[in-house]
Amino acid sequence: MHHRECRISTLLFFSSYWTRPLNLNELIEELKNLHDEQLPNDIVIFPPEDTDEDSGDEDLVQISNLPGSQLRAEAITNLTRSTISDSSKDEDDIPLSHFAKNIPRLVGQLPSTKKEAESQLMQSLETDLDKFSKVRPLIDAMNQRFIDSAPQEECHSLDESMVPYYGRHGAKQFIRGKLIRWGYKFWMSITRLDYVEWFDSYQGSSTTIQGFQYLLRYLFRQFFTTLQLLEELKSKGQKGTGTIRENRLGKDCKVMVSNTLKKKERGSFDYCTAEENEIVVCKWNDSNAVSITSNSNPVFPTMQVKRYSEKDKKRVLVDQPNIIKEYNENMGGVDRADENISHYRVSIRGKK
């Protein structure tokens, strides 16, 4: 019984992502599985374009032997309550466009008609700045779905993700040292358990992203991290932690130089705290010197972690500051999401 409940909840979770029109056969099957209190009030069925509505032949046809063109006609479920009109105007005299204009559209729903899709496409093509304008409606719809179904968590990781691509495109990137060097670069916001909440494309140094309005705690890599950024987040009451490049620490940061720290034993660390804004900068000697800064996580208490020692040929215990521990526990979602996405690569290599 427990297995069945888990399966049903999983199906309901993923079914909330996408909505699509149903043909008549699928609609009948769905209605058979619903209880009386779950039945929708209104069901709107669009006939195919080549159907003669004035011939009257439709009145002589039963559902069991409808032609294939009508069985494949799209049906949209309207969940809003409608009132009965006393108008004497015959329903057959009302044009089909009247019903189409009054169908409520769900927020974030993908375009269900060719005309609607073309309208959204032409709006996105009005600007030449967006190199992903052709798929911008799809990206916006996916982000809205992701946010609506996102789990509520405190920590949110922000990092880059590479999508492999070897063709010609203005947004293609080459990043040396990455596992995927050629392809599209995307910014992604991911939870600790690798749930993708939001993503957007990188199109050059002038790229601006909107992201989220409110978050509890940011975690980011050294590409984003600066002391000024953490100070700005703290002034807005938001927490942030991230690795930082040594040339961004500034002259006022009296922390040990990385080359000096590397000569000490593994697990050694040094830190300093700014008195005016309480931003902590810590350096920890693991297999290499790691620099990290935060406006919320303290250095202490320290804990011990296992590391393999080349000298002793066995695992040994080394000290690890609390700020490093919190970062490692909550930042791994990006790598896990990259691994999951890599299993579902699209085999098409063209740009169309």
pTM of structure: 0.54
Q: How far is CA 204 from its chain centroid?
A: 20
* Residue 351, domain member (yes or no): no
Half-sphere exposure of 252 (CA within 13 A, CB side): 7
The answer as to whether 31 is a domain residue is: no
Note the pLDDT tens digit of each residue in 146-156: 988 888 887 88
Q: What is the pLDDT of residue 124?
A: 53
Query: 171, exposed or middle or buried, with CB in 10 Å at 0-12, 13-18, 19+?
Result: middle
Asked if 191 and 235 sit in the same domain, the reply is no
For β-strands 182-191 and 196-201, DSSP reports them as: antiparallel
Do 209 and 231 belong together in one domain?
no
Q: State whether the Cα torsion 180-184-190-194 is positive or negative.
A: negative
Does some domain include residue 9? Answer: no
pLDDT over 90 (residue 283)? yes
pLDDT of residue 70: 52
| 324 shares a domain with 252 | yes
**Residue 124 is part of which domain span?**
117-215
Q: Is residue 349 part of a domain?
A: no
Residue 186 and residue 250 in one domain: no
> Residue 109 to residues 7, 86, 161: CA-CA distances in angstroms?
25, 33, 26
Residue 25 has pLDDT above 80, yes or no: no
Q: Is the pLDDT of residue 190 over 70?
A: yes
Please give the Cα distance from 202 to 211 (Å, whole number): 13
Both 209 and 246 in one domain: the answer is: no
User: 299 in a domain, yes or no?
Assistant: yes
Could you tell me if 70 and 153 lie in one domain?
no
Are 141 and 234 members of one domain? no
Query: What sign has the CA pseudo-torsion 80, 83, 87, 89?
Result: positive
Phi-psi category of residue 36: left, alpha or beta, with phi > 0 → left and psi -120 to 50 → alpha: alpha
- Does 124 or 6 have the greater pLDDT score? 124
- Pair 210, 132 in one domain: yes
pLDDT at 8: 41
**Three-class SS of residue 117?**
helix
Residues in the chain: 352
- Whether residue 202 lies inside any domain: the answer is yes
pLDDT for 128 equals 52
**Are residues 211 and 250 both part of a single domain?**
no
DSSP string covering 34-49? S-GGG--SEEEEPPPT
Pairing type for strands 196-201 and 172-174 reads: unpaired
User: Cα 46 from chain centroid?
Assistant: 33
Domain C-terminal end among 193, 215, 237: 215
* Among 183, 215, 247, residue at a domain's last position: 215
| Residue 93: predicted pLDDT | 58
Report the mean per-residue pLDDT for the chain: 74
200 shares a domain with 294 = no
Report yes or no on 185 lying in a domain: yes
Q: Are residues 136 and 189 in the same domain?
A: yes
Q: Total structural domains in the chain?
A: 3
d(C-alpha 303, C-alpha 241), whole Å:
19
CA 41 to chain centre: 33
- 33 compared with 289, residue with greater pLDDT: 289
Average pLDDT (56-74) is 52
Asked, for residue 58, whether it belongs to a domain, the answer is no
Task: For residue 289, list its beta bridge partners.
Answer: 285
Whether 163 and 193 map to the same domain: the answer is yes
